[in-house]
Amino acid sequence: MTRPESRPTLLIAHGAWHQPSSWAATCDALAELGYRTRVPALPSAGRNPAPTGSMYDDAEVIRRELSGVDGPVVVLAHSYGGIPVTEGVAGATSVSHLIYLAAYMLDAGESMYSFHGMETPSDTSGTFPLMENPREALYHDVADELADKALGQLVDQSLRSFADKVSTAAWQDISSTYVVCGDDRAVPPALQETMAARATASRTLATGHSPYLAAPHRFAALVDEIIRSAPAAR
């Protein structure tokens, strides 16, 4: 059995409109399994004033966070967080594995806009609107009290972060596992399967978009199992 002190640190990139605090329950569950976690705040998300951070700003935050970790790191990205992880982790020799959770696993030259076949707006200032029914899209299988708390913690998301194109794809050189959320109502599972084909391996969870809130201990156990059986680096 792997000793806790030899386990990699988990660096987690939260999704759009979210804050690091949304990952508290899963971080606690991972701590019970012997993992240290870091969840940096991405500057593309925030409020008062509205965020202006780009995807590249987010990627730089992830790079800086990596530089402060001793030993091996596994990077876990959720939803939008997959984009700055893909950009920011490229070339990082300390990263042993990538985990994409219902995350955008884009290739060089792609952005959130282009991946969805949408034209990039000429003006990328301002914020990208939250979906019409976030309770249903993001948290439909999360207990009411927890979902209400999560909804109250949502913030604005810069439009620019969705328009910025990936310049280099970390998953081309670092082994990866894609976790498809089979009952996701925010990122369709069929779209996730398309991105999962780019990963070294894939798994499926029968949950909605936010298993780190809906089932933190079950999700933490899956992360632990993925890390223990991670494919060798390419």
pLDDT digit string (tens) for 152-205? 999 999 999 999 999 999 999 999 999 999 999 999 999 999 999 999 999 999
pLDDT of residue 3: 42
Nearest Cα to Cα of residue 128 among 52, 33, 57, 200 = 52
Question: Which residue, chain included where needed, has tokens 């990263």?
Answer: 95
Sign of the dihedral through C-alpha 156, 24, 231, 101:
negative
pLDDT digit string (tens) for 15-50? 999 999 999 999 999 999 999 999 999 999 999 999
12 pLDDT higher than 80: yes
Q: Compute the distance between CA of residue 23 and CA of residue 77 in angstroms, rounded to an integer.
A: 11
- Exposed, middle or buried by CB within 10 Å (0-12, 13-18, 19+), for 75? buried
CB 105 within 8 A of CB 82: yes
Backbone φ and ψ of 55, nearest 5°: -60, -35
Instruction: For the chain, list the domains and their CATH numbers.
Output: 4-228 (3.40.50.1820)
User: In this prediction, what percent of the chain has a pLDDT beyond 90?
Assistant: 95
pLDDT digit string (tens) for 206-218? 999 999 999 999 9
Amino acid at the residue 138: L
